[in-house]
Structure formats: C-alpha cells, structure tokens
Amino acid sequence: MSQHSIPSDDPRLTAYALGELDPTEQQEVERLLAESADARSAVKEIRELAGLLTAELKHEPAPALTATQRAAILDAGARPQEAASTNGAVSEQRVAALATRYHSVAQFQSQHSPRVRRIAAFAAVAALVAIMVLLMTPPRSGRLTLIADNSTTPRHSPFGFSPPDAFDADVAWQANPTEEMESLGTSLSQDAAQSASSRPEQLHERFGNAPADEYARPGGARGLKLKDQPSRAKAGGYGGGGGGGMGGGIGGRTSGVNYKGNASGAAGKPADGEGGEVDYSRDGQKVSSTLSKSERGRGLAMPQSGDGAQPEKPAIRNPIAETKPRSASRASDSAPVTSSPLPASRSRRYAESKSGGEAAGQAEGQPSVKRALAGENRGDGRDASGKQLPELRHKQLADDDAKRGEGKGAGDLMLFAKDRLSNEEYYNKLREGAPDARDKEAGKKINKGLSNTFGQPLPPFGNGQTFESGLSRLQGGASDGFGMSLGVQDSILFREHSEGLGAEAYAPLVENSFLSAYEDPLSTFGADVDTASYANVRRFLTNHQLPPRDAVRIEELVNYFSYDYPQPAAEQPFSVSVDAANCPWNPGNKLVRIGLKGREIPRDKRPPSNLVFLVDVSGSMQSEEKLPLVKMGLNLLTNQITEADRVAIVTYSDTAVQRLESTDGGRKPEIRAVIDSLQAAGSTNGAEGIQLAYRAAIDHFIPGGTNRVILCTDGDFNVGVTSDEQLVQLIQERSRTKVFFSVLGFGMGNLKDGKLEKLADKGNGQYAYIDGQKEAQKVFVDDLVGTLVTIAKDVKLQVEFNPNQVNSYRLIGYENRVMPAADFNNDQKDAGDVGAGHSVTALYEVVPAGEAPKPILGDALRYRKAVVPQEGALAQELLTVKLRYKLPEADASTLVEYPVSSPANIATVADGRNPVAFYSVQLNRLDAAPAADKLRELFEQDKKEAPVIEADKANRRLLFRGTAEQVSQGQTLLARLGETGSARDFNWAAAVAAFGLLLRDSQYRGQASLDMVLELATAAKGEDPTGRRQDFIDLVKHTKEIAARRSDAGAVELLGRMTREQREALASVDGKYKNLLRIVEAPADMSTYSATHDFGRWEGTTYSGQSNLPKGYWVYIYPNWYIWGDVAK
C-alpha cells in the first residue's frame, strides 16, 4: 500500500472530524481515510468525544451574575447613554418587574426559537400549576405536608415564606372530578418531563411572593449581601423537579381510584418481614398482639394472673453489683445461641439520589488548600480585602439539584395564588359564616372508642357507623388511621413525602418487627445518644407540619430526656438498670426498659478540651436559622471554656480556611471576634474542611483530654470533589486518630439528616440538631460536658432473651443501629459513643411466653428442642444484658454482663376477670427489703389492699404483682418514699415512645393515641427543672391540633373527589334515610360539625339564608346539608 501521506496523529484529522478542515486539504484527508482503518476509527472517536464534551460542558455548573448586575446591565441597555455606569440605581418596581419577566422568560436556555420557547414555557407552567393543585389537595393520612403558605409568617420563616400548612380551602375546592384530572394527566406527564429539564427556579419566582426587597438594593455589585436566596432557590428547584417526579404520579392517578389496604384498617395486615403477623385492630375488643392466628385464641391477651406456680424465692444474681467484667459468655444457656439466624444488620442507605453531577466543575480555588494546610492563617481572598460576595446561587443550586434528580419535594412547592389564605385566616372566615340557632352540643354525637391515629374522634354517623366505614363500603377500600381511604396517588405522594421536605434527606427506616425469642434470642445494637431527631421533629411540629416518617427515630426521642438512673459504681463508666411493666399500648404485652447511665463528670473536673469548630460557611448557610445560630452557639461555648482548653475554627465553602489557630480558652475576645466575622458564601467543599480540621486537631492533641472536631452544617455538601461515601470513609479513617467528631445540624429545607447522622456515627461522635436558641443552650451549656467529653466509644448492647419466659420481643427504635449478633464481639465494628452523664434508654416490647414457646414460623424445629429445660435461677431469668464499650483511648473493648431475673412466671393464662398487672422496678436509693416493708406499711395506713411485693435484695429491685390499681398505687407510694425516679421515668419513656410510634404511623402502635400520650406524660412529668418535659407535653397538644385539622382536610379532599351520587349515598348514612328533600349549601359548617355529621331530626325551616326549608333529617356532608324526609325502615 502506498504510504500514508498524513500520519494518523495529525491535527488535520481532528479538524476534519470536527468539520473544521480547510477545503484545500479535504481531498488528502479523505484519501487517508479511505486507506486507513485506524484513521477512520480515530475520526469516529474524536466525534464521539466531541459530542461528550459538548454535552458535559453544557452541564457544568454555571455561575451567574447577581441580580443587581443584571438589572444594571439591562438598565444601561435601555438608556445607552448611561451605559457607562455600573452603579446606576434601579427603581424597585422596575427591578421586580424585570426580575419576574426574566424568570418567566428564562424557561429554556436551549436553542429553541422564541415561539416554541414560549409555548413550551406556558405549557410547562400550566403543567406545574396543575401539579401543584393536585399536590395541594390534602392527603389522607396526615402524613403529607404540603405546600408553603406565603401569607403568614410563623415563627420560623427565614426563607420568606411560611412552611407548608395542612389545609387549603381554595385548592381543595378546585381539585375536582376525575375527568379533569384525566385530561391533565396525559398532558402533565409530557410536560412534566419537559419541565424537569428547564430551569425550575422561575416557577418559584413566578408563583411565590418573591420578596421584592431582595432586588431592590441600589448600588454596585460589591458590598452587597443579599438575603437568603439559596433556600428559596432550592424550593424553586424542587418545584421543577417535582414536576418531573409528579408526572409519573399523576399518570397513575388517572387510572381510577384504587385503594390500598393499610395496616390499621380492618382489611390490612402488615407483611411482617421476619415472619408472623401482628394484628392490632383498633376496635377496642381485640387486643391480641399475638403472632399467629392459632395463638390468638389462647387468651394470651390477658396479662398474667395468679400464680399457680409460685416457686420458692428465685436465686438472684446481682446484675448491678457485678463490677468485674465477665469474660466468658454463658454458653450453657437456655437456648443454643451460636448460630441463631438473626436478621442481617439493617444498614442505612442514604435517601438521596446519586450525585453524578457533583463531580463536575467547581475545581476552582482548590490550590488554596495547600496554603491553608500549610497552616497559613489567611482569610479567603474575599475577606482579606474586606469585600463580601454577593450571592445569587439559585440558578446554580437549582441546576445541581435538577441534575441530581432531587426534585421530588412536595413540601417546597410554592403556591400559585397570591391571595392564598393561611389556615388561621381560613378558619376565621369559616367562623364568621357559622350559622346560629343551632345547638351545637346537642348536635354533636361522638362515637367513643372510634378514633383515628391520633385519637381524634372520627366524624360520626348514627348507628355506630363512622364515616370511615361508610366510605370504605362506598369505595371498596380500606382506610388509614385518619379514616381516609387511600388511593394510588396518595401512596405516591406519601412516598415522596417520606423522603423529606423538598431537599431534605432522611435515611429510610424499616421498623424492627417482633422476633421470636426461641429462634432469635439475641438482639444486638449500638448505643445512640444522638438527639437530633427530637429537635428535628419538634421543628416540624412547631411549623404546623407532621414530620416525615423517616425523620422520626424513636430512640432519639426517648433519649432526649434525662432519666433518673443510678450513678455507676466507682470505676465503672456505666450503670445498667432494667425495668419492666405492662405495655400501655398493648395491654397484653410488657415493656422492658434498659437504661444505661454514663458516669457524670462535674464541670470543674472536666478534662481539658482541644476543640476544632468546622463551620460550613457556604452560601446555603446564610439564612437566619443557620449561620447566625451557629455563631450564637459557638459564643455560648466560648463562654464556658477555660485556659486549659483550646479552640480553633476552620471554615469551609469553596475552600477550607483556618480562621483561628488553636487558641487557648482564656483569650475569649479573640475567639469571639473570629466567630462574629464568619460570613456565608460559596459552594460547599466538605472534604477539604474535614481534612483541615482534623489536621488542626491533631496538631494540638491533648493526651488524656478531649479532642474533638465539631462540625456545624446543614449537611448540604452539594458541590464537591467527594461523594457521600467518600466523605464517610474519610471520617472513618480520621477517627483512628483518636480525635472525636460531632455533628451539629442546622436549618431546614435542605437538612441532610441521613448523611449527618452517618457521619457522626462513623466519626465516633454525636449528632444533634439545633433548631433554636433553647436547643443551642441545651447543647452548648447545659449538656456541655456530655457534648464534649466521651466516656466510652463503640458502645454496644446485646440482649439475650430467655425463650421460656419470653415468646417474642420487639426493639423499639434503633433501626439504624441494629447489627448482627456476631458484630457484638467484633471490635472492628463501630457503634455509638456515650458522653459524660449521658443516658441511653432502650425499650423492648415483649410478648410473654405462653405455656410452651412456639416458633413464629409455624413449625417446630426438628433438631432443636423447643423448650430447653432450665433449673433454678436460670429458669427465672427474663433476659441478660451484655454491654461492650471501649474507653476513649483504647482499642479493645470491655465486656460486662447483667442477667436480669424476672418475677416468677410472667407468662400465665388470664383469668378473665381481674387482669393482673406487674411492675418490676429498679430502686435507686433504698434497699429492697426495707422498701418493701415500708410500702406495706403505707398500704396499711391507707387502708388499701397491697399488691404482692417482692424484694430482690441483691439487685435492689422490687416486684409488684396485683391488680392494676394496686400496682399503680404502689408506684405512687413508692414515690412518697422518695423513689420517684423509676416509675415516673418509665412512664415518661413509654409516653415518648408511644408518641414516636404515632408519628411514624407505626403498625405496632396498638392502642396508642395522643390522649394516652398526654395522660402518661402529664402524670410522669415530675419536677422537670429544665422545662423540657413540659415542652414535650405542649408539643403533643400541638400535634393534636394539627391532626384534627388534617382529619377534616383529608375528608374534604376525599369528598371533593366523589361524584354527586356517591356523596348522596354517603349522606343517606348508608341507607338510613331516604327521600332526599333538599340540599343546602353550607361550607362554613365544617368548623362546627367537621366534614361529616348526622344531625338527625330538625324542625327548623330557616337556615343559612334560606327559608321555607322542609323539616326533616339533616345530614352534613361537606359542603352541604342533605335534608331527608324519612327514616328508612
């Protein structure tokens, strides 16, 4: 072959491939191509690469001019003679007008022609409007939090819009018949797909009350500090993405209304992952919490009765007094333990979608890390010259988010009507229009015993029917805790919601189910002293929303409060207490509480601390409830530290900078100066920050003291060179340096809860969420020592249940922390850390054993005996608690074991008449025998019949057995003796746990209701010096209100979807009435009668502005009264 005149590696090939070749050379190149396959493939590759580059470069995060700059440009353009000035003042309206137009026009940055663009823009906008209409219709289960209400500003409103509110009248009325939705559905799915690619933020701008003042700042580009744009932008970002996500959902909706069963409804049975069903009906009769149908009949529902087999006093071992670690585990125990098939540890997953786009771009500014790491203490370039960066990040953020497909949030969608009413305003309007002359008390008939999830009475009918059953029958589906039927669209919305509000991200939790003590006697989990979930839940509730299910971690709710556990013995880091009593929400079951208390360290004995504050100062931290709160907390902390402590401050945004070298705590003014100077701007490069912070901590390591990096962030590492997994790995690696790592979460709307929790966990630290000043006070002042000083790390618990006493058990909470049994002894496996004075409480719901333990799965095992004969003390043990922990600077763990004896025979058959209550309590101050004697005396004095009181001397425990009143009286009297702690604390923990179960809408909630929670909590409040318990009680009351509103809201939405015939059928109260005479419109009556009400006979003839009404039977189905002539026979 002839020689190639052009080598393959020649720029001309590239030029050819890109279509840029000079025509004169065309011929030569083409000849080459004809001859050489290499050349051809090279050209092909180049073209492919070109395509890839074009695509990727288009998606590079694009910065943007500030709004002011834009305004200046346009203004100059309008008046070219003034174009020279960049500092032209711009009038407010012009700017706002421009801004709006800009955003509404800026739909597509693509190459579409203007007309196409406008049509597409309009279509997308219409689509999104429709989507929002549909989304706004309040949902069934009260789980969904909806859109933001722009009109009122409740307590926390840093974004300039108020958080979502449950009920919206305007929209509910509009969300109507299915035909409309069907036609919408198809167009929506198309448009949604399109709109997902558009710049989403303008929807926010368009539909929300964009605060005009944001744009109104005169002056040039410099020296500006805009208000919190990023979070608004994020909201907008999810509007668009939400459109995309919803497209599929809406499509589903149009296929008619199907309902799925729900665990709480009669029809639904939860599919229990571990085998066995748990049926908690709520009709008040069936209370069985048994595991299979066959067992139900055996009356295990009733707690233990008298003692056929009351043996001699059980030999008792002293779980608490044992201070020597016991190395050998008891191999000869009740059941063969080694190979029990425990559920695999439920590993957490991040709820966020993949961060493919994160790798892109933003590599600028990295080199400063080198200098920063070298220890130079320079500010980032901006601060050094005193400039502040104006920030308009919403485009960038929105792009990032749209890229990552996170646009699923129902919560952040903005309203489209500017004259939207807030909840309060709506109700006020209703009340104005309420009718008079009607006896409300007489009119209300409430069916007792029937209530929804939160214990709210369901809208009643006569005949003991409820709206719930009537509807179900009408629509052939089961309903949920709020009495609302479920539909496909609801399940989609529910799923959307449970992933968090908009940009928030929660790791999904699957609740622990009941496990058989016979098959899985070992329950292993890591201790958790995080309190973030409680503060986070509190934040949602205070903003009138129900928190997403996955935001509720019950163990963190319970652990938020302090309990009166006994102090550990002298050299021990921990004390362990075990209590048991009847389970309030499942009377047949017991609740076992295991309490771990860490040694307290008085403030003045606190070891010196070497602290590094790693503060996220990226743009998203600008809002009120973030950086300012961080600063406040840090200032609070600064007040507390001494010369022996050292503080350093590292900030990170685009780059990491050490703002304060490790300074001793005596030089407070210096420290405060740096804290006050912190400003937020830029993107978030978390990895650099972490590196630098650890370096700073290691450089000033205090052996024997506390060395800790405290990260303050909203968790939104939205741009960076590292993925989440890499960050976690980084932390894990760093944790080997014996520097601890705590995480403080701030803010809302983009809180990355799941990620933060994981970081804290891997870093040997705690995760707390600071939602306000009070919490900052708690974390930085009240609990300072606990926050700073870790007394043990990698704390694990393993509980072994005795299958002869316990049929099955369920660990409440700790879903993120459960681990396989084998990991308990494996020191390589991380677990939680416990700070000084912290207590860890774990609750188990336990089903006592029946006559013989029966395996859940149905068949007895062939090679393992069902009942292992036990003698003596062993037979009396309920469970054994094993504890492993590492001292802060140790690498090997220590094991402690505490067998806990149970009262004889907690498993019994009910006698039906007098359910027997039992209560086993750990004494903190008194000794067992004298306490028992005193109690018996007290009972005599009060002339009351005492329950049986047994004293477990060695363990300092008492056991009561008797009727419920006797036991409760015993608790009261015990309180009189000064042993207030245990009983009250137990009830408090139970109340909080029940609340958590309700918030999670747990299938295991049994008979729990908000009223029950209130009852328990109010009784158990105690002295409450910090006021936190009262706050909890207030929170529960608040939740009741929210739930009540949702109940109505859900009903309204459901009614809205029904046809006229269906509504009339409903109004006849399932055929109770016939002969419809009249329909009277009265939407306002819902405030009096709730969504449905069977009033009965009324003789009046004038109502709601109408006269000459027929007398008859009045039934209210929102928004009308139906007047029936006759009662059907």
Give the sign of the dihedral formed by CA 864, CA 337, CA 901, CA 919: negative
Residue 798, both tokens: 């393993």
**Pick 118 or 667: Cβ nearer other proteins:** 118
CB of 763 to other proteins, least distance (A): 15
**Pick 401 or 556: Cβ nearer other proteins:** 401
974: left (phi over 0), alpha (psi -120 to 50) or beta: alpha
CB of 998 to other proteins, least distance (A): 42
673's CB contacts (< 8 A; 6+ apart) are none
What is the distance of C-alpha 1061 from the center of its chain? 40
Dist. CA 471–CA 1065, nearest whole Å:
10
CB of 395 to other proteins, least distance (A): 8
CB of 53 to other proteins, least distance (A): 4
Task: For residue 956, give the amino acid letter.
Answer: R
Task: For residue 1030, give the amino acid letter.
Answer: Q
**Pick 395 or 793: Cβ nearer other proteins:** 395
**Pick 630 or 690: Cβ nearer other proteins:** 690
Beta pairing class for 590-598 and 957-963: unpaired
Helix (H/G/I), strand (E/B), else coil: 878? strand
CB of 452 to other proteins, least distance (A): 47
**Pick 363 or 446: Cβ nearer other proteins:** 363
Dist. CA 545–CA 1060, nearest whole Å:
32
- Helix (H) / strand (E) containing 657: strand 656-664
What is the distance of C-alpha 202 from the center of its chain? 29
Task: For residue 448, give the amino acid letter.
Answer: K
Residue 78, both tokens: 């309008």
CB 723 within 8 A of CB 355: yes
Helix (H/G/I), strand (E/B), else coil: 370? helix
CB of 784 to other proteins, least distance (A): 32
Q: How far is CA 1009 from CA 61, 187, 593, 1013, in A?
A: 49, 43, 21, 6
CB of 708 to other proteins, least distance (A): 20
CB of 615 to other proteins, least distance (A): 19
User: Which of 846, 804, 795, 861 has its CA nearest to residue 824?
Assistant: 795
Q: Cβ of 1102: how many Cβ atoms within 10 Å? A: 11
CB of 659 to other proteins, least distance (A): 17
CB of 356 to other proteins, least distance (A): 6
**Pick 162 or 735: Cβ nearer other proteins:** 735
**Pick 381 or 464: Cβ nearer other proteins:** 381
**Pick 8 or 825: Cβ nearer other proteins:** 8
**Pick 694 or 898: Cβ nearer other proteins:** 694
Residue 457, both tokens: 């009475």
Residue environment code for 738-769, b if the CB has 16+ CB neighbours within 10 A, otherwise e: bbbbbbbbbbbbbbbbbbbbbbbbbbbbbbbb
Q: Cβ of 312: how many Cβ atoms within 10 Å? A: 7
**Pick 658 or 920: Cβ nearer other proteins:** 658
Task: For residue 826, give the amino acid letter.
Answer: N
CB of 389 to other proteins, least distance (A): 6
User: Which of 803, 824, 791 has its CA nearest to residue 897?
Assistant: 824
CB of 706 to other proteins, least distance (A): 25
**Pick 8 or 963: Cβ nearer other proteins:** 8
Q: What share of the chain is helix, strand, coil (3-state, %, to 5)?
A: 40, 15, 45
Residue 333, both tokens: 């125990």
User: Which of 526, 524, 527, 534 has its CA nearest to residue 556?
Assistant: 534
**Pick 106 or 474: Cβ nearer other proteins:** 106
CB of 86 to other proteins, least distance (A): 6
CB of 93 to other proteins, least distance (A): 12
CB of 725 to other proteins, least distance (A): 9
60's CB contacts (< 8 A; 6+ apart) are 360, 361
**Pick 65 or 1077: Cβ nearer other proteins:** 65
Dist. CA 431–CA 752, nearest whole Å:
41
469's CB contacts (< 8 A; 6+ apart) are none
- Strand segments, DSSP code E, in 904-967 are 916-922, 948-952, 957-963
**Pick 64 or 860: Cβ nearer other proteins:** 64
CB of 709 to other proteins, least distance (A): 15
Work out the burial of residue 408: count CB atoms within 10 Å of its CB; fewer than 13 is exposed, 13-18 middle, 19 or more buried: buried
**Pick 58 or 976: Cβ nearer other proteins:** 58
CB of 56 to other proteins, least distance (A): 5
**Pick 65 or 417: Cβ nearer other proteins:** 65
Q: How far is CA 202 from CA 188, 392, 858, 1111, in A?
A: 18, 13, 59, 55
**Pick 210 or 789: Cβ nearer other proteins:** 210
What is the DSSP annotation of 1061-1118? HHHHHHHTTTTTEEEEEEEEE-GGGHHHH-SEEEEEEE----BTTB-SPPPEEEEEET
Long-range contacts of 1048-1051 (CB under 8 A, 24+ apart): 1048/167, 1048/1086, 1048/1090, 1048/1091, 1049/138, 1049/166, 1049/167, 1049/172, 1050/138, 1050/139, 1050/140, 1050/141, 1050/142, 1050/482, 1050/483, 1050/484, 1051/459, 1051/467, 1051/483, 1051/484, 1051/1090, 1051/1091, 1051/1092, 1051/1118
**Pick 63 or 284: Cβ nearer other proteins:** 63
**Residue showing tokens 């801004």:** 99
CB of 626 to other proteins, least distance (A): 21
